[in-house]
Structure 1
Amino acid sequence: MRWGLRLRGSGPAALSAARNLWRPPRLPGRLGWRATPWRLPVRPVTGAHDQPQNPSSGQYRDSVLLPQTRFPMKLLGRQQPDTEMEIQQECGFSELYSWQRERKIKTEFCLHDGPPYANGDPHVGHALNKILKDIVNRYHMMRGSKIHFVPGWDCHGLPIEMRVLSGPGRKVQDLSPMEIREKARSFAKAAIEKQKSAFIRWGIMADWDNCYYTFDKKYEAKQLRNFYQLYEKGLIYRSYKPVFWSPSSRTALAEAELEYNLEHVSHAIYVKFPLLKPSSKLTSLTAGTSASFLIWTTQPWTIPANQAVCYMPDSKYAVVKCSKSGDHYILAADKVTSVASVLETTFEVISTFSGEDLESSTCAHPLIPDKESPLLPANHVTMTKGTGLVHTAPAHGMEDYSVAVQHNLSTDCLVNEEGVFTDEAGPELKHKAVLEEGTDIVIKMLQATKNLLKEEKLVHSYPYDWRTMKPVVIRASKQWFINITDIKTTAKELLRKVKFIPASAQSAMIEMMDRRPYWCISRQRVWGVPIPVFHHKTKDEYLINSQTIDHITKLVEEHGSDIWWTLPPEQLLPKEVLSKVGGADDLEYVPGQDILDIWFDSGISWSHVLPGNEQRADLYLEGKDQLGGWFQSSLLTSVALKKQAPFKTVMIHGFTLGDKGEKMSKSLGNVIDPDIVINGGQDQRKEPPYGVDVLRWWVAESNIFSEVTINPSALNAARDDISKLRNTLRFLLGNVAGFNPETDSVHVNNMYVIDQYMLHLLQDLANKITESYKQYDFGKVIRLLRAFYTRELSNFYFSIIKDRLYCENASDPKRRSCQTALAEILDVIVRSFAPILPHLAEEVFQHIPYATEPKSVFRTGWIHTSSIWKKPGLEEAIESACAMRDSFLKSIPGKNAAEYEVIIVIEPGLLFEIIEMLQAEETSSSSQLNELMMASQTTLLSQEPRTLAADVTELKGTFLINLEGGDIREESSYKVIVVPTTKEKCPRCWKYTATSSGTLCPRCAEVAGK
């Protein structure tokens, strides 16, 4: 066995310091170890004998200072949630936010709450998010910052509207816009009250009296002003473009409103587009033979809307002859082999050429006679799938639309709002759903024209409506857009100055912005904020100006956005504008029927909530899905309006997963109800009440930057951890009974070495805990705490000090030394976990015996430590003694250490002098060294005794002393000799230190006599 001692400094001065650094205080009395009469359910120290529960029974019971506290070891069943509710009332949880806001301090920490959606009951995803935010806020508040945290709710939008329309009652088509809005508002209000009640129950500290709601009149008015500011800057425009369209919801959707189904099945087809007019180069290559361009698509229903075929100018293409049919085809040279394999044939390459040689060629439309489709160059063509030639339908693809604009192609859409072909699609297709029967008919039409080469089923990722969970299409329509092209460059530059946790999320968000071509902000529904624009009745013109906006925002601020549907059009316009557009009797304009995207609703929340002129939050903290959602809409609107990011730091957490690792979502119906976790289910044997602190511990302990799993085993593990922590706290509280820190504390320099050592470790723990909170690494906080209270406290320190606590005089300095350390340990530990477990922290504070008026832990600041606790060399000095202690305990596995005497033999040198500091006399049953050994008595020798009994155990080891810098290295040998004691067990302390059976040992005789 080799142990190392590292002392600061070098040379004679270091040796001198080492010899004098930890000279033990001169405290009267003798000390030792015995089993505790009040046992904690923790792992015993290796080698310690598991003694009976109550060694102090009988006549000496009253002279033993057993722990005294009313702090319960366990809270069983309903006791846990009931106690938490009592603590919230008694400790002023509801007043804490307003109290901390009234403090006269300059430092402010602002966490802007991303609004949860008001469309359902609170779920475990809410718990993960809100508890994380609360841990952050409570930590910063305890560190001395004034917290700004205003909760909010996202109240508009399609999901709420769909919920109220799917309920019982009148048919949807019979409901007026106002009836739908009233139902939606009532539904949202009910959901908000449920969620708010749950958040408060979870102990979330917030400004609950001044929440923000996106359906609030002032919020809506502010939103309309922001809309017009963007319009004035030229960033909002109306255009006919392809957008994600949900036939099941009959509205446009944003990318953030899509969920991708990895198991979607499409009809993938290979289609011939016959070469009609070849370029001069192509004419020479085809040598007069007929050839066709090969196209592959997974959206057959878009073929009727084809306007062109695109190629990659820099790629190589080939003319091939099919061995099966003898036909000639044109496709990318790199795709010849793979396409031939799919078509179950072989291709003979006749010639190859550059893509740019296709310029000015045309092909025949595969379904529409006499219609030509030009061959056009495009950078979006890739060789990863298909044939290297892309069928282009400008009404049904973003890249396709860009090509159409560049080359002046038609962008007419043949699909209506229900996802059905219009009359313009022709008699065979009209009124057919494009994703169902419409696809089948297009395939049959291609077969009839002999242009279909192959059809196959393809399982792939496909966008679905996030609420109806039905597939969407890309469809061109007139919508309102924000021109993010002009914003993205600045936004990305500013984003690079924002701190991301984890750091990888920064590049992920930038990549998402790069992929976003534009932001469609209009929706074809009624539950939302209207786009404040008037459309001409007969012309493609619209009306919006500062006068109309001022008038509408004043109406909205007073009455809410319902005015768009309740007031006649002439009252929605100011008088000076009304007179110019026909007057009330012959009004030329009508209010538009589009509402604003809810991502715009919530994206401008910073302008309504964040304080000061800067309007920047210290932290945004949401799930990873918000990288393309709220984080992005907040950034884009803030950059557009203020040329700054609305956040300084962005923290991202993963999704909550079920027991089998599946994502939790309301649509899948697998969401865990936090209320059942806290209060238990109907069968409380299967679903016991854990209380909210278990939920909070689970949140803090989880690896939040990946997916977070919640299941009974995770909750049980959290409960077990807290139970062990409670036992540690009970030991601490029980053993500081009768101790007053103001009058009874022992100065650190006069404390026992082992007590100084614990304060030394405590300061290191406090520094690491604080740094972990700074980095928002709450899992590390828990790991540090758990290691400290199980290993350093329960399994080490508590086992050593019990005799000193229980069997010395109440006011003995050596006992007060220990109580001084326990009081400091208690204070640091409670403050360390307070942001995570606020209920337990407050419960502990109510049971501190020396607190004349119990205060809230959150009103008394962060961890307090002293620089003098840090003692260079102390940790290493204790390690050397523990090396010998471990040798002794490992030699008597399962036996009582107090039944043995230990002889330690160390060759003369620095190690001997270090150990001698813990025991000045040769043999002692009360020295600090013997307390560490937990033996009947310890003898320290510089050479082996001349004679030894036959039944001794000898153990050898070495300890390396390595002074900093390597100038002095001293490796010392030691021997531990274990001898069964010849003394008797003291009936009071149960140590084997009595001279005869049934009599007290000298120490106990002295204490009991007093």
Structure 2
Amino acid sequence: MLWGLRHGQASAATAVTAASAGGVGGLRRPPWGLGWLGTTKSFLQRAITTSGARNQQKDSEGGKYRETVLLPKTSFPMKLVGREQTDMELEIQQKCGFSELYSWQRKRNVKQEFCLHDGPPYANGEAHVGHALNKVLKDISNRFQMMRGLKVHFVPGWDCHGLPIELKALSELGEKAQNLSPMEIRKKARAFAEAAIEKQKSAFIRWGIMADWNNCYHTFDGKYEAQQLKIFYQMYAKDMIYRAYKPVFWSPSARTALAEAELEYNPKHISRSVYVKFPLVKPPPLLASVLDGLSPVSAIIWTTQPWTIPANQAVCYMPEAKYSIIKCANSGEFYIVGADKVQSTATALGTQFEVISTFLGADLESASCAHPTIADKVSPLLPANHVTMSKGTGLVHTAPAHGMEDYSVASMHKLPTDCLVDENGIFTEAAGRELQNKNVLEEGVDIVIKMLESTKNLLKEEQVTHSYPYDWRTKKPVIIRPSMQWFIKIENMFASAQESLKKVKFLPASAMNSMVDTMERRPFWCISRQRTWGVPIPVFHHKTKDEILINSQTIEHLVKLVEKHGSDIWWTLPPEELLPKEILAKLGGPDKLEYVPGQDILDIWFESGTSWNCVLQGPEQRADLYLEGKDQLGGWFHSSLLISVATRKKAPFKTVLVHGFTVGEKGEKMSKSLGNVISPDFVINGGEDLSKDPPYGVDILRWWIAESNIFNEVKIGPRILNAARDDINKLRNTLRFLLGNLADFNPETDAVSIKNMYIIDQYMLHLLQDFGNKITEAYRQFDFGKVVRLLQAFYPSQLSNFYFSIVKDRLYCEKEDDPKRRSCQTALAEILDVMVRSIAPILPHLAEEVYQHIPYEKEPKSVFRSGWISTSSLWKKPGLEEAVESACSMRDAFLGSIPGQNPVAFEIIIVLEPGLLFEIFEMLHPEDVSETSELNELMMASKTTLLTQDPIAIPADATELRGNYLINLEGGDIREETSYKVIVVPATKEKCPRCWKYTSDSPDQTCPRCTKVLENS
């Protein structure tokens, strides 16, 4: 029911009576019965302009009544300058127990948990802005979940093994590093990792990241390493891990195999590409009649890796594609190329071709060619599915030792996989005297091309710029070469992994497709590395035979040793102590032991991919959230999924949030050479010259992260940080106003019940409940950017510019305990409470600082120990929107007509025809004329008059404003459009020296309202 109108009822009687006030005549309807509307659904949002709003904190008339005005009082500073911000944050962390918060919340008697599993950052350097982006996003999530009553499980961790750490640890030693023993290398690498961990940990603590920093996980901890060995054997026993001699990505610069996730592609790599003849030595039987009399005939191939030509074992074709025999106009020779590649090949070779015959690729069956560099060697023509017509000639040079697809062809046709290249990327003796000891990517290429020239099989050489894989650690090119490695059969678990992802929520949703695509492209995963700093693959190799030793007994024994002593035992203990006694006895005892520990270590992606097994609690061992950068779709997300599916047939995560990388302000990649790398420490503490490089503090860094579109590349720079600082300064001022005006307020004794509050105050609580619900839902969805947008829309517009401007007169000039003032303070207290909790997960230092200044908090220890946003369903009163917002539409018109002027210097007359809108206004303005009504407060004028028809006389200097307002309630069941008129006239009274409103009879006397307040003080 809206103030006397029930759903479906007509309006009340239309009786009117004449009324006059202050010389203004008009007709006025008698008051109707007024009630509350409880179920209306409309919600009208409107930005309220408040230009011309007055500031009563200064008294230019001598300050006679200064002490009688209740100005805000708070020690909360308006702004923190220079080091004040960083000093305050450190003080808050200490005073509010940031270091104990995680342990405190773990001890709460709470059943429901929220588990965010921390993907381990790499322990090889200083904390950078990418770390800040990731850790702060996690902390915002954790703090929100903790405040809303869940027990947060978050164990920080570090990835501690691997080549980058090993290389950095040895970089200072130069050539001396080559003479170090494995244990000497491991000790130096461990020391380097430990130092990096302490540096990063210190930074994370400074950023306010909530965790138990004394109980983190590290991949080099003995217990963690032991769990890896268990997982390895589980997968080995299920035939998901196997050892094989096959091509892998190999880094000559690091002398180790790499997984695809460890590659980065350089789009500007330059290769020396060649077109090469493979002379036909055995014509295909099906083409004998066509080829009869044509001589010589050669297959043409194109490759960007000429160094692989000596390892050629075949030339492959596409059986279902068409091929052509062509005659070269320049040389008169005959060639075979794909029918679709005739013209492009002719153009590339600078000649013209005459097509002699066209046929299906399948007709090339049983043919063979002469090897282009090795005399008497034959390369068969073979069908293959990987051949395409997108590049080259449609015929593919096949070297099984140096290509994944090539190896598949060799396996099918039982071709040799001879490798002519060693671990350093150098041709071996098997490549011949010309090539021996030559680097395949340097002088080796040049020699192979000269060999092709000498055999007259080189048709053309040219440079080509293309994307080429590089080692992501050494930043140098990789090659493909075969070696004996350990692999995981991804193709065997693809279906299960894909099925498990259907139960996982991805943010953004497109990220799941990226993970599936990654798995589809990788039939196997090479998990062995030829380095020292890592966890050993727990197998023993026979000294003379191609045999390995691994079983449940050997693993169980090793697990116990590693749990107690760490993986160093693989290098420090003799082989007989690494084996259990019963196995050793079966092998003939220590003196007859023919097995030695293997020298391969596990890929660090395998190590980190087992973290769920080491860190997550309970039988389910599934995290509510994994949150990392987009590179982890092919890294930690990927390895964690595969290992979990292989061992448990389910994903280790329920939700996966994927964020972008940090880039410069213009979207450029951050690099030291460009000079645009921004250190979090520099942002927080500033530079040497604080006037040039000011300290922003942690909260500005956190605000920047929260407000960014994290699903794209996240930009950072001085302009962006300055904008974040301006936002927070505006927020500080809003919070300061709230604190200052609550200095004399105690909710326990002074709060006003909702039904007795001013309508504008009730309206603000109505808005506040909606705001709080939206804030909560945005946090639930991990949409922190929306949280910031909601805040940015609420506190400047609805609070500072609208509500605060309206209520200042009531707060400052009414009697301290006047119900009207207490009504406003009741609303302000609720607003402050919701605001502080809304910002707390993002801005913990500011939230705690504000919380310490709340005058009525008995134990202001920490906002994080006091729960989440709490609003009342009683605040929800949609009918209030029509009351307030209809008045605001007229107020906007009024203020727009007096730009730059003080609204209290004017009086207004509102003329409304009888109807629903008039009834609403009567609730705000029960008398014909008032200087103190709620409507007058909303309009911000000195006096407001409400009439149903034009006044008898309108002053000559009046301004008339006309408009219409549509009331739409009960989902459209109640609709009424009303025209209105606002007449603006200069104030007819004098300016009150106390409240500054033009409501006094004499400039030397206070207005009636102020006089009454002073008399009762």
Is it true that 1:129 corresponds to 2:134 in the alignment?
yes
Q: Could you say which residue in structure 1 is the equivalent of 2:28? A: none
Q: Could you say which residue in structure 1 is the equivalent of 2:731? A: 725
Q: Could you say which residue in structure 2 is the equivalent of 1:841? A: 847
Q: Could you say which residue in structure 1 is the equivalent of 2:200? A: 195
Query: Which of these residues, 9, 13, 27, is aligned with residue 12 of structure 1?
Result: 9
Q: Could you say which residue in structure 2 is the equivalent of 1:643? A: 649
Displacement of 1:528 in angstroms is: 0.5
Q: Could you say which residue in structure 1 is the equivalent of 2:763? A: 757
Q: Could you say which residue in structure 2 is the equivalent of 1:496? A: 502
Query: Deviation per CA, 1:253-273, whole angstroms, max 9, x where unpaired?
Result: 111111111111111221112
Q: Could you say which residue in structure 1 is the equivalent of 2:550? A: 544
Once residues 453 and 22 of structure 1 are traced to their aligned partners in structure 2, the CA distance between those partners, rounded to angstroms, is 95
Displacement of 1:485 in angstroms is: 2.0
Once residues 603 and 4 of structure 2 are traced to their aligned partners in structure 1, the CA distance between those partners, rounded to angstroms, is 66
Equivalences for residues 479-878 of structure 1 within 5 A: 479-664=485-670, 671-878=677-884
Structure 1 gaps of 5+ residues are 25-41
Question: Could you say which structure has the greater relative contact order, defined with CA pairs below 8 angstroms and 6 or more residues apart?
Answer: 1
Once residues 154 and 694 of structure 1 are traced to their aligned partners in structure 2, the CA distance between those partners, rounded to angstroms, is 29
Once residues 675 and 239 of structure 2 are traced to their aligned partners in structure 1, the CA distance between those partners, rounded to angstroms, is 44
Displacement of 1:48 in angstroms is: 3.6
Is it true that 1:74 corresponds to 2:79 in the alignment?
yes
Query: Deviation per CA, 1:225-253, whole angstroms, max 9, x where unpaired?
Result: 21112111111211001111000000011
SS at match of 1:772: helix
Query: Which amino acid counterpart does residue 80 of structure 1 have in structure 2?
Result: Q
Shift of the 318–311 alpha-carbon distance from structure 1 to 2, 3 Å rule, reads: same
Shift of the 312–667 alpha-carbon distance from structure 1 to 2, 3 Å rule, reads: farther
Residues 11 and 915 in structure 2, CA contact (< 8 A), matched pair in contact too: no
Once residues 144 and 379 of structure 2 are traced to their aligned partners in structure 1, the CA distance between those partners, rounded to angstroms, is 65
Residues 131 and 699 in structure 1, CA contact (< 8 A), matched pair in contact too: yes
- Bigger shift: residues 947-956 or 801-810: 947-956
- Bigger shift: residues 280-289 or 368-377: 280-289
Once residues 11 and 601 of structure 2 are traced to their aligned partners in structure 1, the CA distance between those partners, rounded to angstroms, is 77
Query: Deviation per CA, 1:694-747, whole angstroms, max 9, x where unpaired?
Result: 111111111111111111111111111111000000000000111111111111
Is it true that 1:222 corresponds to 2:219 in the alignment?
no
Once residues 968 and 791 of structure 1 are traced to their aligned partners in structure 2, the CA distance between those partners, rounded to angstroms, is 29
- Bigger shift: residues 817-826 or 662-671: 662-671
Query: Which of these residues, 951, 971, 983, is aligned with residue 989 of structure 2?
Result: 983
Query: Which amino acid counterpart does residue 744 of structure 2 have in structure 1?
Result: G
Displacement of 1:645 in angstroms is: 0.8
Once residues 706 and 973 of structure 1 are traced to their aligned partners in structure 2, the CA distance between those partners, rounded to angstroms, is 48
Is it true that 1:893 corresponds to 2:899 in the alignment?
yes
Displacement of 1:753 in angstroms is: 1.1
Residues 758 and 821 in structure 1, CA contact (< 8 A), matched pair in contact too: yes
Query: Which of these residues, 923, 926, 929, is aligned with residue 920 of structure 1?
Result: 926
- Bigger shift: residues 598-607 or 314-323: 314-323
Q: Could you say which residue in structure 2 is the equivalent of 1:250? A: 255
Once residues 20 and 221 of structure 1 are traced to their aligned partners in structure 2, the CA distance between those partners, rounded to angstroms, is 78
Query: Deviation per CA, 1:517-571, whole angstroms, max 9, x where unpaired?
Result: 2111111000011111111111111111222222222221111111111112222
Residues 400 and 409 in structure 2, CA contact (< 8 A), matched pair in contact too: yes
Once residues 471 and 632 of structure 1 are traced to their aligned partners in structure 2, the CA distance between those partners, rounded to angstroms, is 24
Q: Could you say which residue in structure 1 is the equivalent of 2:42? A: none
Shift of the 577–671 alpha-carbon distance from structure 1 to 2, 3 Å rule, reads: farther
Query: Deviation per CA, 1:436-466, whole angstroms, max 9, x where unpaired?
Result: 1111111111122222222221111111111
- Bigger shift: residues 160-169 or 464-473: 160-169
Residues 7 and 962 in structure 1, CA contact (< 8 A), matched pair in contact too: no
Q: Could you say which residue in structure 1 is the equivalent of 2:236? A: 231
Equivalences for residues 456-475 of structure 1 within 5 A: 456-475=462-481
Is it true that 1:59 corresponds to 2:70 in the alignment?
no
Q: Could you say which residue in structure 1 is the equivalent of 2:44? A: none
Once residues 193 and 97 of structure 2 are traced to their aligned partners in structure 1, the CA distance between those partners, rounded to angstroms, is 29
Displacement of 1:492 in angstroms is: 1.0
SS at match of 1:975: strand
Q: Could you say which residue in structure 2 is the equivalent of 1:409? A: 415
Once residues 729 and 4 of structure 2 are traced to their aligned partners in structure 1, the CA distance between those partners, rounded to angstroms, is 38
Once residues 10 and 561 of structure 2 are traced to their aligned partners in structure 1, the CA distance between those partners, rounded to angstroms, is 83
SS at match of 1:331: strand
Query: Which amino acid counterpart does residue 240 of structure 2 have in structure 1?
Result: L
Displacement of 1:574 in angstroms is: 2.3
Once residues 225 and 525 of structure 1 are traced to their aligned partners in structure 2, the CA distance between those partners, rounded to angstroms, is 21
Query: Deviation per CA, 1:788-835, whole angstroms, max 9, x where unpaired?
Result: 001101111110000000000011011011001100000001111110
Query: Which amino acid counterpart does residue 67 of structure 1 have in structure 2?
Result: P
Shift of the 674–21 alpha-carbon distance from structure 1 to 2, 3 Å rule, reads: farther
TM-score normalised to structure 2 length = 0.94
SS at match of 1:172: helix
Q: Could you say which residue in structure 2 is the equivalent of 1:99? A: 104
Query: Which of these residues, 999, 1004, 1008, is aligned with residue 1005 of structure 2?
Result: 999
Q: Could you say which residue in structure 1 is the equivalent of 2:270? A: 265
TM-score normalised to structure 1 length = 0.95
Q: Could you say which residue in structure 2 is the equivalent of 1:205? A: 210
Displacement of 1:668 in angstroms is: 8.7
Query: Which amino acid counterpart does residue 746 of structure 2 have in structure 1?
Result: N
Once residues 262 and 675 of structure 2 are traced to their aligned partners in structure 1, the CA distance between those partners, rounded to angstroms, is 19
Once residues 451 and 115 of structure 2 are traced to their aligned partners in structure 1, the CA distance between those partners, rounded to angstroms, is 62
SS at match of 2:624: strand
Residues 324 and 359 in structure 2, CA contact (< 8 A), matched pair in contact too: yes
Shift of the 138–386 alpha-carbon distance from structure 1 to 2, 3 Å rule, reads: same
Shift of the 933–776 alpha-carbon distance from structure 1 to 2, 3 Å rule, reads: same
SS at match of 1:851: coil
% same residue = 72
SS at match of 1:12: coil
Displacement of 1:750 in angstroms is: 1.4
Q: Could you say which residue in structure 1 is the equivalent of 2:184? A: 179
Shift of the 282–824 alpha-carbon distance from structure 1 to 2, 3 Å rule, reads: same
Once residues 6 and 263 of structure 2 are traced to their aligned partners in structure 1, the CA distance between those partners, rounded to angstroms, is 64
Shift of the 254–12 alpha-carbon distance from structure 1 to 2, 3 Å rule, reads: same
Residues 912 and 981 in structure 2, CA contact (< 8 A), matched pair in contact too: yes
Displacement of 1:172 in angstroms is: 1.6
Shift of the 372–316 alpha-carbon distance from structure 1 to 2, 3 Å rule, reads: same
Displacement of 1:595 in angstroms is: 0.7
CA RMSD for the aligned pairs? 2.1
- Bigger shift: residues 926-935 or 848-857: 848-857
Residues 50 and 896 in structure 1, CA contact (< 8 A), matched pair in contact too: no
Shift of the 189–578 alpha-carbon distance from structure 1 to 2, 3 Å rule, reads: same
Displacement of 1:964 in angstroms is: 4.4
SS at match of 1:850: coil
SS at match of 1:531: coil
Q: Could you say which residue in structure 1 is the equivalent of 2:21? A: none
Shift of the 819–606 alpha-carbon distance from structure 1 to 2, 3 Å rule, reads: same
Is it true that 1:281 corresponds to 2:286 in the alignment?
yes
Query: Which of these residues, 880, 887, 898, is aligned with residue 881 of structure 1?
Result: 887
Once residues 479 and 948 of structure 2 are traced to their aligned partners in structure 1, the CA distance between those partners, rounded to angstroms, is 88
- Bigger shift: residues 84-93 or 582-591: 582-591
- Bigger shift: residues 169-178 or 202-211: 169-178
Once residues 208 and 980 of structure 2 are traced to their aligned partners in structure 1, the CA distance between those partners, rounded to angstroms, is 55
Once residues 53 and 209 of structure 1 are traced to their aligned partners in structure 2, the CA distance between those partners, rounded to angstroms, is 53
Residues 55 and 988 in structure 1, CA contact (< 8 A), matched pair in contact too: no
Once residues 967 and 579 of structure 1 are traced to their aligned partners in structure 2, the CA distance between those partners, rounded to angstroms, is 91
Displacement of 1:22 in angstroms is: 6.3
Once residues 259 and 665 of structure 1 are traced to their aligned partners in structure 2, the CA distance between those partners, rounded to angstroms, is 16
Once residues 601 and 971 of structure 2 are traced to their aligned partners in structure 1, the CA distance between those partners, rounded to angstroms, is 72
Query: Deviation per CA, 1:297-329, whole angstroms, max 9, x where unpaired?
Result: 111111111111112222222222223332222
Query: Which amino acid counterpart does residue 254 of structure 1 have in structure 2?
Result: A
Displacement of 1:215 in angstroms is: 0.5
Displacement of 1:394 in angstroms is: 0.8
